[in-house]
Structure 1
Amino acid sequence: MPADSPLPRDAQSILALAARSSFDWFSGAGLLLVDRQARVVWINERYRDFLPALGFEREEDFVGHPVSSVVQNTQMHRVLETGKPILIDLLVNKAGTFVVSRIPLRGDDGQVIGVLGIVLFDNPGTTLQPLISKFARLEQDLDAARRELATQRRAKYTFASFVGTSAAAQEVKRQARRAAQTPSPVLLLGETGTGKELLAHAIHATSPRAGRPFVSVNMAAVPEALLEAEFFGVAPGAYTGADRKGRDGKFKLADGGTLFLDELGDMPMAVQVKLLRALQDGEIEPLGSNRIVRCDVRVVAATSRDLARLVREGQFREDLYYRLNVLPIHVPPLRERQADIPLLVEALNEDIAARGAQPQPEMGRDALALLQAQPWRGNIRELRNVLEQLSLRSESGVIDRAAVEQVLRLAGVERIEPPVADMALPGAPLSEQGPSERWLRPLAEQVREVEQQAVRAALRRCGGNRAAVARLLGMSRASLYDRLRDWGWVSEIQSNV
């Protein structure tokens, strides 16, 4: 450096020069000062030029008021809370787009006593066009991501998706529709593959919460060590490697909507305790936080396990069981509603064809009869798997009995032969096949006759025990009693018991 250079060489002088130069530069910028209560206490002449655009004619209508009430989208209160500056930010409000800085001011004791807001550029559209363009693109991407996330968290199915016209299927849908209109927890019980998740979606879609999120958690799919974080979220920096911004749990994501707990019987005991508290108090505590968060969540749970037995064996909390077992719905296995198989085959084939962008195969009557006769221990999931294999193997577009026999054999399904002369028609039980004049009469009359035959057979089997009859037929006691009253059978049954 030349000997006659006017620049100082000691740190103190350099800082003083920088401060003086910065102040001279800041004097041409818009300045706003707030106190520790986040009230505006002073603005400079340059900032006064922004008042009309912000909606204020007089300075006294602006100064002395909380900054959040006079400046839209301000972050001054955040700097007051954290004590950390925000050096560069884009502020967008009705006065325009500004590049701003926010600097905390500290007293002699080191405590934050106020914040200085600085408008660095009040016309960034010309001087900082690349930055503004990038900011706009990021905003658009964020909005698109939010819309996509909202779409994914909506219910995917309605009750129309639960295919079936059998008495068992209709009873399940009746109970589920009734449950949808209440805020109480719903417990879906049934074997794997019977459509419990589909019903959970349908319950949400029909409930008053339909416009809010539908969030699901599969207990069997999440490692036990991560379940608590998955449910209740993680506070910022809760543990080494945790996200510095924290992460919301499923309860928070489902706030105002429905939380679906699949495979409930696999939930660890440690998480059951916290889940019970969340259901009772409507409060959660994120991992690593002492802050209580309020959540308004309606729970629909599902399990293929015997929860009552798990309670007796000490593997499931009794108090949580009673909390969730308010509206239990038993979803029947496919072997108990074989009359629905033709309709299910039609619906599943249509979906398989649509997903594969290929023509829907035609199902021969003998092939359909053979499918309808099987026990389907894997329920609808197993039926779909077989239909997908048949679709891939079909070259002529027609699926015959031989093709079904081959796939069943390769899949290891225990094949059961349908009764001789069965010719399956969509929606008709095997026993109702073949032309006959007795079917050519009002359908309501035929349905009533079949229902009476089924109830009469169940009453004989159960010795007149109506609770046992309702369980055997897969219907509620109330529905059974309604039918008995309509048919005038109540006094007859009581006299015979």
Structure 2
Amino acid sequence: MSLDLQLRLLDEPHHLQSVLREVFFDLFERQLEGAIMVNRDARVVWLNDRYATLLGLASPLDALGAPIETLIPHSRLREVLATGEPILLDVMDYRHQMFVVTRFPVKNAHNEVIGAIGILLYERWEPLKPLLAKFKLLQSELDQARRELGKQRRAVYGLDDIIGQSPACQQMKCLAQRAAQLDATVLLEGETGTGKELLAQAIHNTSSRADMPFVALNVAAIPDTLLEAELFGVSAGAYTGADRKGRDGKFKLADGGTLFLDEIGDLSPALQVKLLRVLQEQEIEPLGSNRLLRIDVRIIAATSHRLADRVTAGLFRADLFYRLNVLLIVLPRLCDRQTDLPALCQHLLQQITDRAGLATRSLTAGALACLARQRWPGNIRQLRNVLEQACLHSDRHRLDACDFDQLLPDPVAADTIAPLQETLAQAERQALQAALIACGGNRTEAAKRLGISRATFYEKWQRHGMLEAQQPGSTTWR
């Protein structure tokens, strides 16, 4: 400050405000890289010469009265006017150059926002290099922590872990590969024990989200009173007994990755509404919080029911069904992929003996024939259980049919007490196949004879994991 200015401040205190205003604007003019001011309508009322030059103006006067966006298309000064809050440090991209800027509101004596000021702090990055180096270090540590968390929630299985070469299994793998590429919501339908979670992990591990978390939740295993907190999380002190620090829900834990929701058909109506909103908005609201959190989560839902039937019965919302049923994959039953049985048994036996520390086991032809006669209502999970019991109860290196006598029901007796759902499904499969054969492979005619639409016929055929009927001269659908 000059001596002349100091004397003016001492001798003429009644001019203090005008002098300070002069000093303030002199600072903006001479010391800063650039500065601009707008009124409450976001129109320019002042800018310094340096900023005018940067903006390509012949004179600061050329900008007066113009909306700020006409000079700086991505300016955030209007945001400062709306919120009344400063944006203290930001990076602005202007004409392919990066500038470090700060913005703050101008308020009157009544604390009303009457304008805003934007200041260009640095036109070069050099003064910020120490700060940026520290930021990069912190970002690197955060990324490392996220990777470690992701490893704890990493999917284990891939498509190569799905054993089988039967047509039904090959079709399932093909659809899974497509699902991985599309990053769309997937619905898996299949009986218990068909490997729905394994397939979900394989889809995740084949997708672009493979390095991010895979989080699984069985909807049917958690009471409705706790399920909302499990899904969406709990804010700090949301209710008596809640964690003081709050707790993240499965959606937050899966952010950037995949959330596998098993037995989705058992979701309560109230939570169906909330899940629908999450799928539509990609936002969650933790319990006890008024704050919405943006998420990026890919949903893979699974059910042992036929979800469309639950919609018809009024047990599941149609709008949520349409959101989930973007790409449907029906997992075939074990009895519909009999040709995969030898390879599956070999694979499972290897897993069982490795885990139990037993000698390698194999199956005789008689044992395989015995296993092939079963219906396997528990599918692959039941098959594994039976093989594990046989290994633990027998010292044979090659398991024979007699090793399974006490472990398997009489298939003839089991046929007489088959569950109604299974009996109806079997009858439906037989009707579809008989109609298609009778119509020489023409599914339109077969659907007409059965009294259903062609689309319904194809959907049912696909759901049962069946192949086209092969007739002489007829090898394709018509």
Q: TM-score, normalised by structure 1?
A: 0.59
- Structure 2 match to 1:256: 256
Query: What is the rounded CA distance, in whole Å, between the counterparts of 1:456 and 1:191 in structure 2?
Result: 21
Which one of the candidate residues 460, 463, 466 is aligned to 2:437?
460
Residue in 1 that maps onto 2:351 = 351
Could you say which residue in structure 2 is the equivalent of 1:378? 378
Shift of 1:472: 3.5
Match of 2:163 in 1: 163
Q: Deviations over 1:417-456 (max 9, x none)?
A: 9xxxxxxxxxxxxxxxxxxxxxxxxxxxxxxxxxxxxx99
Shift of 1:316: 1.1
Gaps of 5+ in 2: 1-84, 90-120, 416-431, 445-453
State the partner residue of 1:364: 364
Whole-Å separation in 1 of the counterparts to 2:317 and 2:241: 33
Alpha carbons of 1:457 and 1:311: their partners in 2 closer, same or farther (altered >3 Å)? closer
Quote the Cα distance in structure 2 between the aligned partners of 1:458 and 1:341: 28
Q: Displacement of 1:183 after TM fit?
A: 2.4
Q: Displacement of 1:284 after TM fit?
A: 0.7
The residue that corresponds to 1:270 in the other structure is: 270
SS of equivalent to 1:374? coil
Give the secondary-structure state (helix, strand or coil) at the position aligned to 2:234: coil
In the alignment, the residues of structure 2 paired with residue 146 and residue 256 of structure 1 have an alpha-carbon distance, to the nearest angstrom, of 11
Q: Any conservation in 1 of the 2:336–2:465 contact (CA below 8 Å)?
A: no
Q: Is the 8 A contact 1:458 1:469 kept in 2?
A: no
Instruction: Report the alpha carbon displacement of residue 343 of structure 1 after superposing the two structures with TM.
Output: 0.7
Structural RMSD (CA): 3.8
How many angstroms does 1:266 deviate by?
0.9
CA–CA distance in 2 between the matches of 1:383 and 1:183? 32
Distance verdict in 2 for CA 1:244–1:339, change over 3 Å: same
CA distance in 2, matches of 1:219, 1:158: 23
Q: Cα gap change, 1:240/1:71 in structure 2, threshold over 3 Å: closer, same or farther?
A: farther
Range with bigger deviation, 256-265 or 241-250:
241-250
Deviation at 1:459, TM superposition (A): 2.6
| Match in the other structure for 2:322 | 322
Is the Cα contact below 8 Å between 1:168 and 1:474 reproduced in 2? no
Residue among 458, 461, 467 paired with 1:472:
461
Pairwise CA distance, 1:146 = 6.6
Report the equivalent of 1:307: 307
Q: CA deviation at 1:150?
A: 2.3
User: For residues 198 and 37 of structure 1, do their structure 2 counterparts lie closer, same or farther at Cα, with a shift above 3 Å needed?
Assistant: same
Amino acid at match of 1:225: T
Q: Are the structure 2 counterparts of residues 146 and 209 from structure 1 closer, same or farther at C-alpha, using a change threshold of 3 Å?
A: closer
Q: In the alignment, which residue of structure 1 is the partner of 2:398? A: 398
Match runs of 1:179-194 below 5 Å: 179-194=179-194
Deviation, 1:340, is 0.7
AA in 1 matched with 2:443: N
Alignment of 1:392-431 (within 5 A): 392-409=392-409
Cα separation, 2, equivalents of 1:458 and 1:362 = 41
1:413 deviates by 6.9
Matched ranges for 1:283-302 at <5 A: 283-302=283-302
Q: Report the AA paired with residue 362 of structure 1.
A: S
Bigger shift: residues 263-272 or 460-469: 460-469
Q: Residue 372 of structure 1: CA displacement?
A: 1.5
Q: Aligned AA for 1:465? A: R
In structure 1, give the amino acid aligned to 2:398: V
- Residue deviations 1:330-366 (CA, integer Å, cap 9, x gap): 1111111111111110000001011112212121111
Give the corresponding residue for 1:340. Answer: 340
Residues 220 and 263 of structure 2 are in contact (CA less than 8 Å); yes or no, is this contact kept in structure 1? yes
- Give the aligned residue type for 1:247: R
Q: Distance in 1 between matches of 2:242 and 2:459?
A: 52
**One-letter amino acid matched to 2:379:** N
User: 2:325 corresponds to which letter in structure 1?
Assistant: N
The equivalent residue for 1:451 is: none
CA–CA distance in structure 2, aligned partners of residues 72 and 286 of structure 1: 32
Distance in 1 (alpha carbons) for counterparts of 2:278 and 2:462: 36
AA paired with 1:389? Q
1:117-136 aligned at under 5 Å gives the runs: none
Residue identity matched to 1:282: Q
Distance 1:193 1:248, change over 3 A: same
Task: Quickly say closer, same or farther: Cα 1:325–1:143, change in 2 above 3 A.
Answer: closer
Q: Is the alpha carbon distance of 1:282 and 1:408 closer, same or farther for their aligned partners in structure 2, counting shifts above 3 Å?
A: same
CA separation of 1:258/1:144 partners in 2, compared to 1, >3 Å: closer, same or farther? closer
Cα contact 1:470–1:480 (8 A) shared by 2: no
Kindly, what percent of the aligned residue pairs are identical? 51
Q: Cα offset for 1:404? A: 1.4
Letter in 2 for 1:346: Q
CA distance in 2, matches of 1:146, 1:281: 24
Q: Deviations over 1:187-211 (max 9, x none)?
A: 0011100111111011111111111
**Structure 1 Cα separation of the partners of residues 337 and 260 of structure 2:** 25
